[in-house]
């Protein structure tokens, strides 16, 4: 494997983050200098999983693993990868149902900062752009964090119930939310990355689950009952 070769992280069902690399590869931190970063669900704002410099080829082996607790009380999210760090949220099944945010060293899996408690209960999902992490939990608390220090930059309460990963692109965070949990209507939010101001909202059929896909031509969401919306 050449310098900058691909590595992959995945959240295991048993509350463990696994990091795999090509057999006999270079150190994981060599990857940090490449342009291929995981900044949203399914890698990028388009959610296409495309990695233009992908050189990861079988066989692969386990580089490291980090446990977030037993399978009975914690659930890690998909990983976000940037600047030599792996960012993950974990929901702990306690009375508060509070999610946490943690940054791990990509080379070793050691904790770089955190865990940081997030504002509200329920699941929490992540996206990243321009050195800022954006976390949205189930109750609508949207928070921005500095990716290097883990310090909070701002927090904004959005109205609704949120189960879909957010997408950050070109200075705007796109978030899909339902009016109520399991409800039949919802909204697509566009939020400014610098201060959390809501730039616009659009009514959608459901608002649940669908992570906005962003391209140069628009923003697209897809919901149950065949409802697909682009704008």
pLDDT exceeds 90 at position 147: yes
Per-residue pLDDT, averaged over 57-65, amounts to 83
φ, ψ dihedrals at 11, nearest 5°:
-90, 120
User: So what's the pLDDT on residue 51?
Assistant: 74
Q: Is residue 45 part of a domain?
A: yes
Least confident window among 23-32, 46-55, 94-103? 23-32
Q: Is residue 2 part of a domain?
A: no
Mean of the per-residue pLDDT values of the chain:
79
Q: Is residue 33 part of a domain?
A: yes
Per-residue pLDDT, averaged over 118-122, amounts to 78
Residue whose token pair is 């930059």? 153
Q: Is residue 199 part of a domain?
A: yes
User: So what's the pLDDT on residue 157?
Assistant: 95
User: So what's the pLDDT on residue 142?
Assistant: 96
Q: How many CB atoms lie within 10 A of CB 199?
A: 12
- Domain span holding position 170: 7-230
H helices within 60-185, ranges in order?
none
* Tens-digit pLDDT profile for residues 163-203: 889 999 999 999 998 886 655 678 899 999 999 999 999 88
Q: Is residue 38 part of a domain?
A: yes
d(CA 78, CA 93): 18
Q: Pick the residue with more confidence: 25 or 43?
A: 43
Closest C-alpha among 40, 35, 116, 47 to residue 83: 35
Q: Is residue 107 part of a domain?
A: yes
In this structure, what CATH number is given to the domain that contains residue 165?
2.40.128.630
What does DSSP assign to residue 179? S
User: So what's the pLDDT on residue 210?
Assistant: 82
User: So what's the pLDDT on residue 152?
Assistant: 97
d(CA 40, CA 67): 22
Q: Is residue 1 part of a domain?
A: no
Q: Is residue 88 part of a domain?
A: yes
Q: What would the two tokens of residue 48 be?
A: 């296409």
User: So what's the pLDDT on residue 49?
Assistant: 83
User: So what's the pLDDT on residue 57?
Assistant: 76
For the chain, what is the domain count?
A: 1
d(CA 226, CA 136): 25
- Contacts of 153-161 with CB under 8 Å at 24 or more apart are 154/195, 154/196, 155/119, 155/196, 156/191, 156/196, 156/197, 156/198, 158/189, 158/191, 158/198, 159/187, 160/186, 160/187, 160/207, 161/207, 161/208
């Amino acid at each position: 494997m050449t310098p900058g070769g691909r590595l992959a992280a995945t959240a295991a069902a048993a509350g463990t983050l696994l990091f795999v690399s090509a057999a006999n590869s270079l150190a994981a931190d060599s990857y940090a200098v490449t342009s291929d970063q995981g900044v949203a669900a399914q890698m990028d704002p388009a959610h296409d999983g495309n990695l233009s410099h992908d050189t990861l080829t079988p066989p692969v082996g386990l580089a490291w693993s980090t446990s977030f607790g037993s399978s009975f009380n914690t659930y890690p999210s998909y990983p976000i990868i940037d600047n030599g760090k792996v960012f993950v949220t974990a929901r702990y099944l306690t009375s508060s149902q509070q999610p946490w945010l943690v940054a791990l060293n990509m080379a070793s899996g050691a904790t770089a900062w955190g865990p940081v408690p997030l504002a509200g209960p329920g699941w929490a999902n992540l996206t990243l752009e321009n050195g800022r992490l954006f976390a949205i939990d189930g109750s609508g608390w949207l928070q921005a964090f500095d990716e290097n220090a883990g310090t909070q930059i701002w927090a904004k309460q959005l109205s609704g119930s949120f189960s879909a990963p957010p997408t950050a692109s070109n200075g705007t965070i796109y978030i899909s939310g339902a009016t109520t949990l399991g409800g039949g209507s919802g909204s697509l939010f566009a939020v400014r990355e610098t201060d959390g101001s809501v730039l616009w909202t659009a009514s959608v059929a459901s608002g649940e689950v669908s992570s906005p896909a962003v391209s140069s031509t628009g923003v697209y969401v897809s919901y149950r009952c065949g409802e697909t919306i682009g704008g």
